[in-house]
């Protein structure tokens, strides 16, 4: 391929939709990527519990050949782990280092990026939530429509629509499991009372098909979501990468860890410099225009290493954001003793919206009822012997659930990303919460617990877990879009104000982070930029 029209770094949710939009408009696109891949689905027609009897070695599948999927007693930070088959998503290249403080970052160098392990929540931002973004909300809505058409989103227009704008191409909601149906029936009885307290319940919108679309099948309720949907019903960015590969104007170059950009005359990017995996050599790729889509932190690292390589200056970029999350487990008293059904959708199907004093204070929750899962982390938390704990858990299983409560974040200079002083720099990341966070979280959790009580559920004392910053992987804010031009910022079209032919099309450019999973918005913003700036 000759020098491409556009070079894209990274194959995550932003990068693939940016690339596909350009390809549809006739541009030639080259994508540079580390591109780690995982195993192909095993016995794709088999439900999760069927794998236990059908697989030759089910232990390795569920727990790993070295038992890496086991969460040992005393590991109380999370209620679930990542299955061994998804380890490739988090495997870093040799020599990659970060030094976080107050932050627990996750990085991905996989095809599809962190979107290969997301839970599919698609929550469009409303006009109030993008008030600080320097472009009209209508541009984003048009892009939401296009992304929904591509990936398939199921859901309903219900009480949560007051917080979630209704886009086109919304498929009918997935089949509810018995526990979720019970919660919705309970909500119908107390709806007016909860709404008067600014609490609303409804269906989450998820990137999972409820009807066949293209070569992807509708959800068949195998209960294997966490291990990887074998039928492609649950969308992942690698699906769009495969669509890009069908275009003659697309070149995909895996095995390249991009480290920096070479700057030429007129402060324009001249080439992309990457390290070939498994070698000590660098490879240089000449460019016309470049789009960084490696994820907010990795794109920030490339930008910082470019400045260091070109000027010797170590720059600190403030404004790092992430959504604080709190995990609220509950027991639905009306479901005690019932038999759980394994053939169900494994992830969240319901959502909880808490209206704040202002639109920016909105708090969003995802409600996941417990179905198929690795349950040993839950059983070992019970204060009984193994036999008694297992017996009790079986009686509780169908009644258990979890609310993942998300909080907004704002840009603050005290939260920053910079390079370390090492000869081969690592990434130093620092985060400290704002002074009001403690009271905001406590107030919201009181409302969530009260809402769950109204639905007939008990939140066990002492079981709420406040996740560390970084756990949500909704990173943003280091090179923000601004209306007023300034160094180390980007335009409304995510164009760098430091290097004219450089665009950043991931979360690094977001000036504000509402209390919603941003993956859908990342994809939509990438489509928007490719449509209006090229």
For 124, half-sphere exposure in the C-beta direction (CA atoms, 13 angstrom radius) is 27
| Angstrom distance (rounded) from CA 134 to CA 151 | 27
The reported pLDDT for the residue numbered 57 is 86
**346 domain-assigned:** yes
Mean pLDDT of 401-405: 96
3-state secondary structure 178-217: HHHHHHHHHHHHHHHHHHHCCEEEEECCECECCCCECCEC
pLDDT, one tens digit per residue, over 187-246 is 999 999 999 999 999 999 999 999 999 999 999 999 888 888 999 999 999 999 999 999
**303 belongs to a structural domain:** no
Over residues 439-492, the pLDDT tens digits come to 999 999 999 999 999 999 999 998 899 999 999 999 999 999 999 999 999 999
| Cα-based angle 29, 33, 34 (whole degrees, multiple of 5) | 165
Across residues 54-80, what is the average pLDDT? 70
Structure-block tokens of residue 408: 């907004």
What pLDDT is recorded for position 83? 80
Nearest to 349 by CA among 225, 205, 218, 451: 205
How many distinct structural domains can be found in the chain? 1
Is 183 part of any domain? yes
Q: In what order do the strands lie in the sheet with 269-276?
A: 256-263, 269-276, 282-286
Give the chain's mean pLDDT: 93
* Residue 263 placed within a domain: no
Which two structure tokens, joined as six digits, stand for 449? 């617990």
The Cα–Cα gap between 143 and 513 comes to 18
- Region 332-357: mean pLDDT is 92
The SS3 of residue 130 is helix
pLDDT digits (tens, 9 = 90+) for 309-335: 999 999 999 999 999 999 999 999 999
Q: What is the pLDDT of residue 427?
A: 97
Q: Residues 479, 303: contact at Cβ < 8 Å?
A: yes
Average pLDDT over residues 1-27: 97
Cα separation of 181 and 159, whole Å?
16
**Pick from 60, 14, 504, 8: nearest CA to 285:** 8
Residue 226 maps to a domain: yes
H/E run at residue 15 = helix 13-24
What is the arithmetic mean of pLDDT over 293-305? 98
Q: How much of the chain is helix, strand and coil, in % rounded to 5?
A: 30, 20, 50
User: What does the pLDDT read at residue 119?
Assistant: 94
- Residue 203 confidence (pLDDT): 98
The span from the CA of 75 to the CA of 198, in Å, is 36
| Percent of the chain with pLDDT strictly greater than 70 | 95
Q: Report the range of poorest mean pLDDT among 261-265, 379-383, 440-444, 526-530.
A: 379-383
- pLDDT recorded at residue 413: 97
Q: Could you tell me if residue 160 is inside a domain?
A: yes
Nearest to 396 by CA among 447, 463, 466: 463
Give the three-class secondary structure for 116. Answer: helix
CA distance 414 to 408: 17
Confidence of residue 380 (pLDDT cuts 50, 70, 90): low
Q: Does residue 15 surpass a pLDDT of 70?
A: yes
**DSSP code of 139?**
H
Q: How far is CA 42 from CA 47, 62, 242, in A?
A: 11, 12, 20
In a domain, 73, yes or no: yes
Evaluate whether 508 touches 478 at the Cβ level (below 8 Å): yes
Q: Which residues of 66-90 are buried (b: 16+ CB within 10 A; e: fewer)?
A: eeebebeeeeeeebbbbbbbbebbb
Nearest to 524 by CA among 82, 142, 134, 24: 142
Boundaries of domain holding 174: 51-85+154-232+325-406+434-468
Sequence-ordered list of residues with C-beta below 8 angstroms from that of 312, at least 6 positions apart, any chain = none
| Distance of alpha carbon 56 from the chain centroid | 33
- Judge residue 277's burial from the number of C-beta atoms within 10 Å of its C-beta, 0-12 exposed, 13-18 middle, 19 or more buried: middle
Q: Is residue 68 part of a domain?
A: yes
The predicted pLDDT at position 74 comes to 55
Coil, strand or helix: which one is 473? coil
User: pLDDT band for position 251 (50/70/90)?
Assistant: very high
SS3 401: strand
Average pLDDT over residues 81-91: 84
- pLDDT of res. 387: 78
Structure tokens at 281: 């050599």
For residue 98, give the H/E element and its range: strand 98-101
Measure the CA–CA gap between 292 and 509, rounded to whole angstroms: 11
Q: What is the pLDDT of residue 483?
A: 98
Which tokens sit at 190?
A: 């107390």
Those residues with Cβ within 8 angstroms of residue 360's Cβ, 6 or more apart along the chain or in another chain? 128, 129, 408, 512, 514
């Amino acid at each position: 391929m000759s020098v491409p029209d556009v070079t894209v770094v990274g194959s995550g949710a932003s990068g693939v939709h940016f690339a596909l939009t350009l390809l549809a408009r006739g541009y030639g696109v080259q994508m540079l990527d580390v591109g780690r891949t995982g195993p192909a689905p095993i016995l794709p027609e088999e439900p999760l519990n069927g794998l236990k009897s059908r697989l030759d070695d089910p232990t390795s599948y569920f727990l790993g050949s070295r038992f890496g999927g086991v969460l040992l007693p005393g590991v109380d930070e999370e209620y679930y782990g990542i299955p061994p088959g998804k380890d490739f998503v988090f495997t870093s290249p040799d020599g990659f280092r970060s030094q976080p403080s107050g932050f627990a970052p996750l990085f991905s160098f996989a095809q599809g990026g962190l979107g290969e392990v997301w839970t599919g929540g698609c929550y469009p931002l409303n006009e109030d939530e993008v008030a600080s973004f320097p472009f009209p909300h209508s541009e984003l809505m048009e892009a939401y429509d296009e992304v929904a058409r591509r990936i398939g989103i199921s859901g309903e227009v219900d009480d949560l629509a007051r917080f979630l704008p209704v886009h086109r191409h919304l498929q009918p909601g997935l089949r509810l499991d018995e526990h979720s149906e019970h919660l919705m029936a309970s909500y119908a009885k107390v709806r007016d009372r909860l709404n008067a307290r600014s609490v609303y319940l409804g269906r989450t919108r998820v990137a999972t098909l409820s009807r066949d679309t293209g070569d992807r099948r509708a959800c068949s309720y195998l209960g294997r979501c966490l291990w990887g949907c074998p039928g492609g019903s649950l969308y992942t960015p690698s699906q769009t990468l495969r669509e890009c590969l069908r275009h003659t104007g697309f070149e995909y170059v895996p095995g390249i860890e991009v480290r920096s950009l070479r700057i030429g005359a007129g402060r324009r990017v001249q080439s992309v410099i990457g390290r070939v995996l498994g070698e000590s050599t660098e490879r240089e790729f000449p460019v016309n225009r470049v789009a960084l889509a490696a994820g907010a932190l990795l794109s920030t690292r490339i930008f910082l290493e470019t400045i260091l390589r070109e000027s010797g200056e170590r720059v600190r970029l403030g404004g790092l954001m992430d959504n604080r999350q709190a995990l609220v487990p509950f027991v639905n008293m009306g479901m005690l003793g019932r038999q759980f059904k394994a053939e169900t959708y494994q992830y969240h199907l319901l959502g909880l919206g808490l209206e704040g004093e202002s639109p920016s204070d909105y708090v969003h929750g995802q409600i996941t009822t417990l179905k198929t899962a690795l349950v040993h982390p839950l059983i070992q938390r019970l204060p009984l012997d193994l036999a008694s704990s297992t017996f009790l858990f079986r009686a509780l299983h169908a009644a258990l659930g979890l609310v993942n409560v998300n909080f907004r974040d704002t840009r603050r200079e005290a939260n920053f990303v910079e390079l370390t002083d090492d000869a081969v720099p690592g990434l130093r990341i620092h985060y400290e919460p704002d002074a009001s966070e403690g009271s905001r979280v406590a107030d919201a959790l009181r409302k969530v617990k009260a809402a769950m009580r109204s639905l007939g559920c008990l939140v066990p004392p002492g079981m709420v877990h406040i996740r560390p910053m970084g756990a949500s992987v909704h990173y943003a804010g280091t090179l923000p879009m601004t209306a007023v031009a300034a160094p180390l910022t980007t335009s409304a079209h995510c164009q760098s104000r430091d290097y004219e032919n450089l665009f950043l099309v991931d979360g690094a450019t977001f000036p504000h982070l509402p209390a919603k999973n941003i993956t859908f918005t990342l994809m939509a913003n990438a489509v928007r930029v490719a449509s209006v700036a090229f």
